[in-house]
Structure 1
Amino acid sequence: MQIWPAIDLLGGKCVRLQQGDYGRETVFSDDPVAMALKFQSAGAKYLHLVDLDGARDGQPTNHEIVREIVAAVDMQCELGGGIRSEKTIDNLFATGLHRLVLGTAALDDPDWLREMAKAHPEQLVLGIDARDGYVATHGWLEVSDVRATDLATQFHDVSLAAIIYTDIATDGMLQGPNVPEMEKMQKQVSVPVVASGGVTTIEDVRALADVGLAGAIVGRALYQGTIDLSEAIEVAETGVIASSKDQ
């Protein structure tokens, strides 16, 4: 299982929201590039970036800092947030990003997602954010009447790199992930599913790996020290920890 440490960008700063609420923001760093390098030094091979301004406003606005992060690290980087046009996709891939996460656009215009996936096979990730099992859009400010599993199966024949499934109820709460829901989604589809939301401890990482998730995004837990990134990577890759910290 892959571990994707997360950097959420708001106003050029590294922040975390609780349950997607822009009114419940915590700033963890004024230097996202330094944070990315810190994750890399801990052994991270992957980096999950979110443009929260873009998710809310409908177009990426942290383009320059994203470019700086990608140039500074030797990791596979993906970005989500406000990616709703072909021009934006082309501009972002030009920065060196490996994958782009599309969410709202997939719900609003499924045919467009199919088109973009044909143009960029295995490079686009479907981001499904759910509250009570229903898809949330536009930076989690709106909840649709579409079930998360239904949206996932709708794209069973699309050449996606992965699905990121976020449980908003657990996101940023440090109370553990919704493992049964994540397992259910992975069993529903053939593409890799990356779990997001609530990963707090090494045991959470192990639980997600045990039920077959392809990856896990870890955010607030890294910033608040409830999980060690190097250990999380070791557990995700091997299922065990050599360190005494897990004894």
Structure 2
Amino acid sequence: MIVFPAIDLIAGKVVRLERGERSRCTVYSDDPVAQARAFAEQGATWVHVVDLSAALEEDEDACAANSAAIEAICRVDGLSVDVGGGVRSLKRIDELAGYGARRIALGTVLVTEPGFAEVAARGFGGMLVADVAARDGQVKINGWRDGISRSVESVVGELSELGFRHLVFTDISRDGMQTGVDADAYRRVAACAGFPVVASGGISTLADVRALAAAGPDVVEGCIIGRALYEGNFTLAEALEAAGQGAAQAGARSFGPSAAASGEGAGDAH
């Protein structure tokens, strides 16, 4: 199972939101590139980057700072980058692909503009990821602020028919709360999609990582871990081992808010 350490960005800073709420924001680092390098040094092969400023439609300067950070993260040796947040046009997909992103996640436009989703799927194929977030089984869009009165099963089934073969599913009620995972929820989503999903939201212990890995590669392709790493619940090396990836590189070190904030080897997000 792939471990995707997360880097959530607002105005070029590494942050975490609780339940997607902008007012409940914690800043962990002013140096997202250093954070990405730290993840790579600790054994990560992928990193999950979210442009929250774009998703929340913040001002131009905030979005520009995030774009610069994303482009720089894509140049970090040894890391493949999965990036999303506010991707609503073919032009933006082209920009992110030009930065070097390996996967690009689409969220809101998948349900508000199904015609666009179909065109994007045809043009970019396996590079695209469907990013679906839900609270109490109902899909949320626009930075998780708005509901659409549609179930997860309905949306995921439709996206699968369009040809999407990568999907991140976020349980909003658990995101950033370290309340643990609901492995059964990912089984249901994967069964509906017809392919394994990336789990996001609520991972707080190594037992959560093991539970997702135990669901099997046909259910869970990977898991996104953010706050649990930043708060020092466990190290990235431990998470990689729990996921079945083996120990991280020799000499890798754990990190917490102080290391991230100081830019020491960097690391962190989602």
Give the aligned partner of residue 54 of structure 2: 54
Matches within 5 A, 1:25-40: 25-40=25-40
- Cα distance in structure 2, aligned partners of 1:49 and 1:75: 12
User: Counterpart of 1:120 in 2: which secondary structure?
Assistant: helix
CA contact (8 A) 2:237 2:247 kept: no
2:238 equivalent among 209, 212, 231: 231
2:126 equivalent among 116, 119, 122: 122
- Cα distance in structure 2, aligned partners of 1:159 and 1:42: 34
Distance 1:76 1:238, change over 3 A: closer
Give the aligned partner of residue 12 of structure 1: 12
- The answer as to 2:83 corresponding to 1:79 is yes
Q: Structure 1-normalised TM-score?
A: 0.93
Amino acid paired to 2:40: Q
- Cα distance in structure 2, aligned partners of 1:71 and 1:214: 24
CA contact (8 A) 1:131 1:143 kept: no
Q: What does the per-residue CA deviation read over 1:3-25, in whole Å, with 9 as the maximum and x for residues that have no partner?
A: 10000000110000000000000
Distance 1:53 1:46, change over 3 A: same
Matches within 5 A, 1:80-229: 80-212=84-216, 213-229=220-236
Unaligned runs of 5+ in 1: 242-247
Size of the aligned set, in residue pairs, is 241
- Cα distance in structure 1, aligned partners of 2:151 and 2:225: 24
CA contact (8 A) 2:179 2:204 kept: yes
Amino acid paired to 1:145: S
- Cα distance in structure 2, aligned partners of 1:63 and 1:77: 13
Residue 240 of structure 1: how far off its partner (Å): 10
- Cα distance in structure 2, aligned partners of 1:234 and 1:161: 26
User: Counterpart of 1:155 in 2: which secondary structure?
Assistant: helix
- Cα distance in structure 1, aligned partners of 2:162 and 2:241: 32
Residue 143 of structure 1: how far off its partner (Å): 1.6
State the superposition RMSD in angstroms. 1.8
Q: What does the per-residue CA deviation read over 1:10-54, in whole Å, with 9 as the maximum and x for residues that have no partner?
A: 011000000000000000001101111111111001110000000
- Cα distance in structure 2, aligned partners of 1:70 and 1:90: 14
CA contact (8 A) 1:196 1:217 kept: yes
- Cα distance in structure 1, aligned partners of 2:27 and 2:68: 19
Q: Structure 2-normalised TM-score?
A: 0.85
CA contact (8 A) 1:77 1:99 kept: yes
Distance 1:99 1:238, change over 3 A: closer
Unaligned runs of 5+ in 2: 249-270
User: Counterpart of 1:198 in 2: which secondary structure?
Assistant: coil
CA contact (8 A) 1:86 1:116 kept: yes
Identity of aligned residues (%): 39
Amino acid paired to 1:112: F
- Cα distance in structure 2, aligned partners of 1:55 and 1:178: 25
Residue 184 of structure 1: how far off its partner (Å): 1.2
Distance 1:73 1:238, change over 3 A: closer
The worse-fitting range, judged by mean Cα deviation, of 186-195 and 95-104 is 186-195
CA contact (8 A) 1:106 1:126 kept: yes
The worse-fitting range, judged by mean Cα deviation, of 156-165 and 195-204 is 156-165
